[in-house]
Structure 1
Amino acid sequence: MAIVVPFCGLRYNQEKIQLEDVVAPPYDVVSPAQQETFLTRDAHNIFHLELGRVLPGDNETENRYTRASQRFKDWLTKGILIRDKEPSFYYYEMAFSLEEKSLVRRGFICLVRLEDWSSGVIRPHERTFESVTSDRLKLLRSCQAQFSQVFCLYSDPRLQTVKRLKEAAQELLEVRDGTGVIHRLFRVSETKAIRFVRRLLEPQPLYIADGHHRYTTALTYRNEMRRIYGPNPHLAFNYIMMYLCPMEDEGLVILPTHRILKESRLISDLEVSLSPLFKALPVTKERAEEELGRAPKGSFVALEGEESVLFEADTERIMEALKDLPPELRSLEVTIFTELVLKRALGYPEDRLKSPDLLSFTPWAREVLAAARQGHLGFLLKPTTVAELKAVSDAGLTMPHKSTYFYPKILTGLVLYHMDPQEELR
């Protein structure tokens, strides 16, 4: 069962900083250039803790992690970061526009007791990479704090949890990010509201949307700390900070993750090799997304230079071609594309697909169009659905790399979790 608890979060002291200057997107969706932009924006930007610079001469005793630890202590001492006095849930709204439609995503930030994957309480849908978890583990060891949240989903068809929290919420802040999304954070300290939410969440699993590496890192850190402080499950290191959102919320959006191939390949090669499974239909760039939206499951659009082609799927034949895969996987758009286009038609082995110099990913069709005009082969895909994510997670399976893009992204820096290893949480 999912154990969620309130906590005394750390937040920026708005009497000393401007929120717009110190918050940032999740560390794993920014480019090196964007990272540098945030680091130079303000000396107290959260990236100085979450994603600091690697400097020439860094070694075991002086590096991005030790610098983050020293800054963190300094900011606490100087009151740049202040700790709330009452254990709370943090109700969190994101207001945004998508395709000329105004939406609000509702959720809340809390602590969740860490559970081993085998328990089924926390359910993943992606694989993790050791190089990423190693980086996050060094930061966690150095700072004993979590600066960003794991994003998880849970089922609440009547949205009782977020409605009850909103009733008891005290507004703390509002900030607009660089993409125009408005983020509003509220504190909920009312005991009855917290108990109500805990009771509804307790019997059900949580599904990781974003943050698989952070969760894996926290498990490793928990196990290390247990060897020092013992197995008491209430000690602070047994918990991880999460942003929880009902999977039925209207503002929960998964965008497609389009692909851009960095090697020189031709659409004409695909037309021949894919002809038994797909019908190649010319389509204008202006109507590519619209036509793809109406096409059968498994269809995609390829773009090269000024040429754009809709590959309309023969779904029955495709399901037969992928019959050796579990049904939860072979029905995914990204599985169909990865197995039949990248692997079979273009001949890339699994290991090659993991290389960052082969593919880049984006949720924005305009970036694919721009890359196609520069000579790359771009692909527009359909998005994964919440129901598909749940089905894959429930089956204990994992999706291909970069299968989901949840939008908008949670802001890093709104609330932080500082772990005293001997503090007990209830």
Structure 2
Amino acid sequence: MAEILPLRAWRYNDDLKDTIAQLTSPLFDVVSEKQRQALYQNPLNSIHLSVPRGDNPPQDAARLLQEWKEKGILQQDVLPGIYVYYQYFRLPGSEREFVRKGFICHIKAYDWHEKVLLRHENTIPSAVNDRIELLEATQLNVSPTHGLYADSEFLLEPYMDESIRTPIYETEDYQGVRDVLAVIHDHEVIRLFLQTLAEKQVLLADGHHRYEGSLFYRRKMMAQNPDHTDFEPYNYHLMYLTNSEHDDLRILPTHRLLQQLPMPEEEFLQRLEEYFTVTPKEDPYELNEVIVGKPWAFGMYLNGNAYKLRLKPEVHKSIDWNFPEEVKQLDLTVMHYFIFEKVLGIYRQQQRDYKGLSYERNFTACIRKVDKGEAQVALITNEISMEQVKRVCNSGAVMPQKSTFFYPKVICGFLFSSIKEDEFTTAAAACL
């Protein structure tokens, strides 16, 4: 099953430790334009590596990375380790402090057909290409993707709890989340981590685009290397692994915004009524509440008017996409099939990279963007459960793109992972 390895991370030098909060950044696919511009003002912020600017962003990032290495801004840890990463957070309306426990390591970039690492949603092609170009130029994993493994015995948590008592970094990020990083160097404990994951499949929770970038690069290098051994640095990818049996895993909904309807509003509403019960609502700020717990129900805010949409149960069987039943049952499958394809005429393959379609995690931001004229319609959906994610992964199928938002997001800037031949080391021999 899953082969993981310790790593010698590249990190900001110890003189910058007290300013680490000013050096971290959100992941490339969640950072807003306003956040970008503010972070770019700090010449040492990690965003210059994760979302580079310039005429040739990947090459500019590669040059800057080399400069930071030569100047000692980034230094490689002397000893290999497993990096423990805890995120402490609260959710609106709850006094409980959650903690998502996990660790960062290298993992083999398994191809999908190997069924060791399982995906659950589609990707957006342009975003994958962007990550491929950056990885090829820098040979650096700038931020870890997020994977889930199942361990009902919680074998690794005692060692992580012990390690997190002596952190390397502790800071509060842009989400209001307290991020804490520590490291385990003990060979025997690292060996337990490797052995535990060797018996597991991994579900890819977040970072499908970055993982596909590593997978594409591995395939390319394998084809170019007649002496391929499966142990070269290009075979590996940086991942944050968490135990799916914890009850502190949270998945938030991702809503849809359509910049402009391809038809008049009156016609759109008429077509919706072929498949949905359409109920006007007075207050758009209650749309997320009126659909809670109701399958195949959506909130819709259309040019100042609020509606609740509920699929007519008898039409569900008409879904003719070649998906297993686990995927057909999902709210977002219903949305993308009936609203985007049947009503709007935007077919499934077009939806993956449709220019007028955007994604928003913040419910109130959806309402605000429609009111400001930045979008014509917002489609509000319920969250997806962990059990639904597991069922889809095990079915071998995928959800529509941007189906899940595992919260909180990991941050960029705590550590980086090199896949350059002279910088990559696993210390596997010492741990096995």
TM-score by length of 2: 0.89
Structure 1 segment 91-170 matched on structure 2, within 5 A: 91-101=84-94, 102-169=97-164, 170=166
SS of 2:16's equivalent in the other structure is coil
Q: Is the 1:155–1:246 contact (alpha carbons within 8 Å) kept by the matching residues of 2?
A: yes
Offset at residue 339 of structure 1 (A): 0.6
Q: Distance in 2 between matches of 1:368 and 1:346?
A: 20
- 1:344 pairs, out of 342, 345, 369, with 342
Q: CA separation in 2, counterparts of 1:313 and 1:192?
A: 55
What percent of counterpart residues are identical? 27
Alignment of 1:14-29 (within 5 A): 14-16=14-16, 18-29=19-30
Q: Which shifted more, 343-352 or 373-382?
A: 343-352
Mapping 1:171-182, distance limit 5 Å: 171-182=167-178
Q: Does 1:293 align with 2:292?
A: yes
Alignment of 1:189 onto 2:182: no
Amino acid at match of 2:286: R
Question: Could you say which residue in structure 2 is the equivalent of 1:43?
Answer: 43
Deviations 1:268-325 (A, max 9, x none): 545533335432233333432222104x2110011124422212334x3243222664
Structure 1 distance, partners of 2:109, 2:325, is: 30
Give the one of 209, 212, 219 matched to 2:208. 212
Q: Which residue of 1 aligns with 2:369?
A: 371
Q: Distance in 2 between matches of 1:23 and 1:285?
A: 35
Mark the CA change 1:138 to 1:98 in structure 2 (over 3 Å): closer, same or farther: same
Matches within 5 A, 1:27-426: 27-40=28-41, 42-55=42-55, 63-101=56-94, 102-169=97-164, 170-226=166-222, 227-228=224-225, 230-264=227-261, 269=267, 271-275=269-273, 277-283=275-281, 284-294=283-293, 296-314=294-312, 316-322=313-319, 325-375=323-373, 376-421=376-421, 423=424, 425=426, 426=428
- Kindly report the root-mean-square deviation, in angstroms, between the aligned alpha carbons of the 2 structures: 2.3
Secondary structure of the structure 1 residue equivalent to 2:364: helix
Amino acid aligned to 2:172:
R
How far apart are 1:14 and its partner, in Å? Answer: 3.9
Count residues in correspondence.
Answer: 416
- Deviation per CA, 1:371-390, whole angstroms, max 9, x where unpaired? 23235221111122222222
Q: Distance in 2 between matches of 1:67 and 1:261?
A: 34
Go from structure 1 to structure 2 and tell me whether the alpha carbon gap of 1:221 and 1:347 turns closer, same or farther (over 3 Å shift): closer
Q: Is the 8 A contact 1:91 1:185 kept in 2?
A: yes
Most deviating of 89-98 and 126-135:
126-135
For the residues of structure 2 that align with 1:229 and 1:66, how far apart are their CA atoms?
27
Give deviations 1:90-121, integer Å, cap 9, x for gaps.
Answer: 11111122123232211110111222221111
Task: Give the aligned partner of residue 59 of structure 1.
Answer: none
Give the match's secondary structure for 1:29: coil
In the aligned structure 2, how far is the partner of 1:112 from the partner of 1:240?
5
Match of 1:58 in 2: none
Q: Moved runs in structure 1, 4+ residues, more than 6 A? A: none
Cα distance, 1:275–1:224 mapped onto 2, change above 3 Å: closer
State how far apart, in whole Å, the 1-side matches of 2:234 and 2:353 are. 34
CA distance in 2, matches of 1:37, 1:413: 16
Is the 1:168–1:190 Cα contact (8 Å) retained in structure 2? no
Counterpart AA for 1:288: L
DSSP-derived class of the 1:109 partner: strand
- TM-superposed CA distance for 1:50, in Å, is 1.9
Distance 2:93 2:234 in 1: 43
Q: Which amino acid aligns with 2:24?
A: V
TM-fit CA distance, 1:53: 0.8
> One-letter code of the match for 2:155?
Q
Partner of 1:60: none
Gaps of 5+ in 2: none
CA distance in 1, matches of 2:130, 2:372: 34
Matched residue SS, 2:309: strand
